[in-house]
Structure formats: C-alpha cells, structure tokens
Structure 1
Amino acid sequence: MVTNYRKIIFSSIVLLLFLAAACKKDSSTADYSALPVVEGYLMPNKIVEVKVSLQKALVDTNAYGVAVTGLTLSISDGSITKTLTEDKAGHYILNDLTFIKSGSTYKLSFTYNNLPVTASTVIPDKPSGIVTSADTVIIPKMTFGSTETAFVPVYIRWNNPNSYNHIVVFRYLETFKSLISSRFNSDTVSSVEVNAVKAAEFELTARSFKYYGNYKVIVTRVNQEYLDMLNNNSTSSQNLTNAPTNVTNGLGIFTGMQSDTLSKKLLVKAEE
C-alpha cells in the first residue's frame, strides 16, 4: 500500500527531531538533556558529512542547535577507519568520494562528555528502472455548471523486487510559481515528498501538486531508521518524548541512502 506522507522538503525532518530532543526524558544512564544531536546521510560518490549540535530549545527559532566543536569523529567500514575533519563549527567531513559503497556497513564513533557515541548504517543499492506512465500530468478544468473532465492518473514506477523502502521527491523547477488553485497559499512549499514505503510505484492524483510547471522526479532508497523519523511527524507531547534515533548515547540519525533521477522532466499543466 502506498502512503502519502506529507508534502515537505527533506530539511523539515531534522527540525522535528530537534523539537523532540528538547522534550526527551529517560531513566537510562545517559542524561538526555546533555546528549549530542547527530545528523549524517551517507551516499556513494559523495563526501561524508556529519553535523553534531546541542539540542534545540522549543523556543529557539534557529534551524539547528548550537554546534558541537572540537570533536574527533571516525567512520569505519569494518576494515578501514578514517577520521573526519571539522571544516566549520559542528560540521565534520571526509573528503573522499570513493569510501562509501553500496552494500557496505559503516560505523560512526566519537566521544562526547566522556561517553562513547556510536551509530551504524548500511548503504542500500541504487534504485533502477524509473519510468512514468506519461510525461505530463493534466489537471482538469473546474468550470461552474459544467461536468469536470475525469483525471487520468500518472504512475511513477521503479524496480523493487525485494520490497525496499523508497521516498519519492518531485522537485519544483520553475522560477516563478503558478498556483493550480486559488485555495492554495502562494507561500506553500512547492516541492513534494511522498513515502512510497515498500511499493514499486506511486500514483499521482489531481491533488498531488499545488503548482503548474516542470518537476524533477527523484526516487531514493532509504533504510528503516530514516522512515522511523519521517513517520514521527506529529508534534504532540507524546510523540516528542519518543523521538526515534539510531544513535547510541546521542540523538538524531546516521543513515545510508541512494537516489536516482527520472531521465526527463515531469510536466504538470492545466487542461486545454
């Protein structure tokens, strides 16, 4: 079953995590008010980037908490261990495009407040076979007093014989926004992200988009730890106190992913 998550951009996930971290309470050894927040997304052919910060207060309007500097972060694939360098406050990198490989498992390690902070993840294979049932999504006209033309669904499909988790992003490419309906606010986020779960297709409906124009279609294969955080989308106090994380003695996420892009643009336009 395909679940339409919500129409967001990737950065909103991290903001929710920081809000959750600010409310986290636990009786384990670690003091959650002092735990670092880790953010790292590993992809082949990309440099390794990991952000480490303090927890963000609920009243803090900044995108991130205060950066944690001066750490020694290392990443290992089980046979080779490499040390990241801090290129700016709280931002640690490994400038090696060949270190991250499909199918490999990576472990992040560092010490903070005399506690060992660790996290591990596997790099999923790259998605393949991305196609669309049509190059254009046609939005029917809604004219008072007339019968609306039936919408013809458009499908995004990809190979997924092993039922891996996928996220599909429709990245808006236009400089000037053209609203589909006056019911939408012009400040509405223009890109669309959906959680396709373990499916091999996603069905676009007449309500999938808020803007006319061209979109880039990106299919990303992700791990369960990513979906756990993505699905924790409520800001209720109950969910805030149970924010998911795969970081030991820390909060946040350290996860692998791989993306591929549809070779052509997807056009959303009005019925002529």
Structure 2
Amino acid sequence: MKNIHVYIFLGIMSFSCSSLENGFEETIPKPVVEAYLIPGAPISLSVHTEIPYSADSLANKEKPVDGLKITITGPKGSINLVSKGNGLYVSQSIFPITVGSSYSFKFDYLGKQVSATTQIPTKPLKFTSNKTVISRQAIDISAGGRPQGGFGGGANVDNNVMLTWENNTNDYYMSIIESLEPNPVEIIKFPVDPTRVRPNIRFRNQPIQGNSAEIRSQSFQYFGQHALILFKLNSDYVALYQRNGNTTQNISTPPTTILNGLGIFTGVNADTLKIKVLPE
C-alpha cells in the first residue's frame, strides 16, 4: 500500500512547558513540529505552539502557527512547503523520499532557526500473517441488555491473527490495523443513540523490538476488509510514544531531536497486508 496515511500517527503528542522543582515557570511557548516522512507519500508537517503550563493558567491550549517559510532538504535538492492553515504545511509537487537518505527541515521562529534531521529506515522484511480471513459472531444488543458471555462475540483464540517479520537488527516496529470499508458495519449492534461515538476504524499495538505481534480477534470492531500495516520506526518516535504517560503530576521535558523546538520529525517505512473479517 503506497498511499500510507500519515494521520495514523497523529495524536501522540502533548507538550507542556517544563516545570521547576517548586512550582511552575511561565516560558515563551516553543514551536511544536510533527512530521513523518514516508517513501511514496506526500510531505506534510504541522506546527503548533506548546501548551503553556502554569499553576494558575486557565488557557492551556496549543495554537496553530501559520505563515512560516519551511524548507525540506534531501539528497536531491530542497522544496518549500505551502501553508494550508491551521498549522498544516504540505508539499505541492513531487519530492522523492528514498530509503537510507537523510532529510532535514528548517524555519525561523521568533528570531531563532528551528531545525531537525532524520533518516528514512528500510521497509520491513518478510512481513507475513497466518490468516487472510477470520470470523466474528455478530452481536445485537439494540433492544438493550448485555449479551450472554459478554461482548467478546464468541471470541476464539484460533481466530487470533499472528503477524511475523524479520528483525535481525533489533529495530522498532509497530502494527496498526485499519478498516478499509467505506461504510463499515459494526460487529456489535448497539441501541440507536445519536450521541454515541462509533469505535475508531483503526487500532494499534505499542512499538516493540521483537519480530511478531498477536492481534486478538476481539480487537476488530467492524466486519469487512482491513489493512494490516507494519511500520518500521526510528527510536525518536518510540521515545516520544513512551513519554506520553506523563501527567500534570509528572511533567518533564519531552524527548525531541528538534533544535529550538519540540515535537518530532522522523522517517518511517511500512509494508501492508490485508485481512477480511466475516460474520459467523
């Protein structure tokens, strides 16, 4: 699947100003950059201010930063990104992202140059799944109540999906499963409620340094075709992912490779398989 959706990664970041040992310190918010460079995908990069964190602040909200002149540089030249509003910047022409190559960005913000460099990892090797089709029992609770045996839908370990790949160099990988149906049908039919939020069409496993991942059949929320996407990650993404356990009681400076800023600018690569979930 060449058209890998970068938005799969979004939402792992929440940046706050560093705290002092005894209370909080107000600082000028730094720019928070978020960009994932993937071979075959267009470049997109977002910039927001970090969330101002103080003991009495009532407006702890990040703000998009528009109108910057952002340049991406690679082994075959440079390209200027176009501001689309709401902090989003995109490439409007083809800019090749190649495996093993280094890429950097830079822009000026409040008198300082913000920059970072990343390298594009190789594609996952020998990515396989032990199943191309699984089945789930449809559950109808639209009349109310709870199904006998809970919401597992007759969960059977034989329906679990085992993903494997080669990892002789102890690299980081993360698997993401995404429904490909234009109008996906939920496995569990709930009572009609216009305020109910439908399950997310995608779910993920946390990054690991192993060579396999088990996907439980109960994790699938929809019938139909799904993509099994295996991402090979750089270590900076993993550090930021793991840092997200921080709370207001455990504030620390987030890990970043960005000079004069925060966030992440990293290369990723992926391979994709497909699996279909059928009703029993």
TM-score by length of 1: 0.75
Query: SS at the partner of 1:261?
Result: strand
Distance 1:95 1:149 in 2: 46
Aligned partner of 2:180 in structure 1 is: 173
For residues 76-91 of structure 1, what are the structure 2 equivalents within 5 Å? 76-77=73-74, 80-88=77-85, 90-91=87-88
Distance 1:138 1:170 in 2: 16
For residues 185-204 of structure 1, what are the structure 2 equivalents within 5 Å? 187-204=198-215
Aligned partner of 1:105 in structure 2 is: 102
Q: Is 1:115 matched with 2:115?
A: no
Give 2:69's aligned amino acid: T
Give 1:103's aligned amino acid: G
Q: How far 1:101 sits from its partner (Å)?
A: 1.3
Q: Is 1:71 matched with 2:80?
A: no
Q: Is 1:40 matched with 2:35?
A: yes
Q: How far 1:125 sits from its partner (Å)?
A: 1.0
1:47-78 CA-partner distances (Å, limit 9, x unpaired): 3222222234687798xx33323322222236
Distance 2:86 2:20 in 1: 29
For residues 1-272 of structure 1, what are the structure 2 equivalents within 5 Å? 10-13=9-12, 17-18=13-14, 20-21=15-16, 23-25=17-19, 32-56=27-51, 65-77=62-74, 80-88=77-85, 90-139=87-136, 150-152=156-158, 153-174=160-181, 175-180=183-188, 187-234=198-245, 236-262=247-273, 265-269=274-278, 272=280
Q: How far 1:26 sits from its partner (Å)?
A: 6.9
Q: 1:60 to 1:96 in 2, by over 3 A?
A: farther
Comparing 107-116 and 228-237, the one that deviates more: 228-237
Q: 1:149 to 1:11 in 2, by over 3 A?
A: closer
Distance 1:79 1:267 in 2: 40
Query: SS at the partner of 1:199?
Result: coil
Q: How far 1:238 sits from its partner (Å)?
A: 4.3
Q: How far 1:164 sits from its partner (Å)?
A: 2.0
Comparing 248-257 and 75-84, the one that deviates more: 75-84
Distance 2:223 2:52 in 1: 38
1:147-191 CA-partner distances (Å, limit 9, x unpaired): x78521321122333232112111023414323597xx8633231
TM-score by length of 2: 0.73
1:44/1:98 contact within 8 Å kept: no
* Higher RCO (C-alpha 8 Å, min separation 6): 1
Q: 1:26 to 1:70 in 2, by over 3 A?
A: farther
Distance 1:129 1:162 in 2: 14
1:45/1:97 contact within 8 Å kept: no
1:104/1:123 contact within 8 Å kept: yes
**May I ask how many residue pairs the two structures share in their alignment?**
247
Give 2:209's aligned amino acid: K
Query: SS at the partner of 2:157?
Result: coil
Give 2:34's aligned amino acid: E
1:140/1:150 contact within 8 Å kept: no
State the percentage of identical aligned residues: 26
Distance 1:25 1:85 in 2: 35
Query: SS at the partner of 2:206?
Result: strand
Query: SS at the partner of 1:12?
Result: coil
Q: 1:135 to 1:36 in 2, by over 3 A?
A: same
Give 1:179's aligned amino acid: I
1:89-131 CA-partner distances (Å, limit 9, x unpaired): 5333333434321101112222211112111111111223322
User: What 5-or-longer segments of structure 2 have no aligned partner?
Assistant: 1-6, 139-146, 191-195
Distance 2:50 2:134 in 1: 42
Q: 1:257 to 1:32 in 2, by over 3 A?
A: farther
Comparing 190-199 and 74-83, the one that deviates more: 74-83
Q: How far 1:87 sits from its partner (Å)?
A: 4.2
Query: SS at the partner of 2:125?
Result: coil
Q: 1:239 to 1:254 in 2, by over 3 A?
A: farther
User: What 5-or-longer segments of structure 1 have no aligned partner?
Assistant: 1-7
